[in-house]
């Protein structure tokens, strides 16, 4: 007696929806760019835009003891940035404000600046532009 169970049309439909959502999630991936400093310069400026759920990620290499300074200038108050080191959140401007920020770094390596829209705006496909000035001093 064969007791195998057919998934049926409803389960097949759910699996199709999950697959479509998984594929679509790849469309909202971050764009990542390494911030390059001109020879002898301690700061670099990047400009860009974010639309919807897409974010922009900038990577800054620094050494322990150096100070990372961020000056973020968004076109809309719903555009924010986070600073992360190895997945650890060091700065969340949606909580702490978009003011200038500085931190003496405790470890060598890459620091990620993630620019994003709040989800309440992202869901409507809002677009915002920004200017981000990153500088590394000391050390």
Q: For the chain, give every domain's residue range.
A: 29-137
Task: Give me 23's structure tokens.
Answer: 């594929």
Percentage of the chain beyond pLDDT 70 is 78
Say how far apart CA 25 and CA 90 lie, in whole Å: 26
Can you give the pLDDT at residue 99? 85
**Can you tell me the mean pLDDT for 73-96?**
96
**pLDDT tens-digit map of 95-127:** 998 889 999 999 999 999 999 999 999 999 999
Say how far apart CA 102 and CA 133 lie, in whole Å: 12
**pLDDT tens-digit map of 5-33:** 445 554 344 344 443 333 333 444 556 89
Q: Calculate the dihedral angle through the C-alpha atoms of 60, 64, 65, 70, rounding to the nearest 10 degrees.
A: 20
Residue ranges of the alpha helices (H) in 40-135? 93-96, 119-122
pTM of the model: 0.77
Task: Give me 114's structure tokens.
Answer: 């993630």
29-137, which class in CATH?
A: mainly beta
């Amino acid at each position: 007696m064969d007791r195998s169970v057919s998934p049926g049309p409803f389960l097949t439909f759910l699996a199709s929806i999950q697959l479509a959502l998984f594929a679509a999630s790849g469309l909202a991936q971050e764009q990542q760019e390494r911030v390059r400093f001109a020879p002898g310069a301690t700061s670099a400026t990047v400009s860009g835009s974010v639309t919807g759920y897409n974010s922009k990620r900038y990577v800054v290499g620094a050494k322990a003891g150096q100070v990372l300074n961020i000056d973020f200038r968004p076109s809309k108050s719903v555009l924010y940035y986070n600073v992360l080191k190895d997945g650890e959140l060091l700065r969340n401007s949606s909580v702490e404000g978009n003011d200038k920020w500085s931190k003496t770094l405790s470890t060598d390596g890459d620091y990620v600046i993630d620019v994003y829209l709040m989800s309440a705006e992202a869901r409507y496909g809002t677009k915002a532009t920004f200017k981000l000035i990153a500088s590394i001093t000391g050390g």
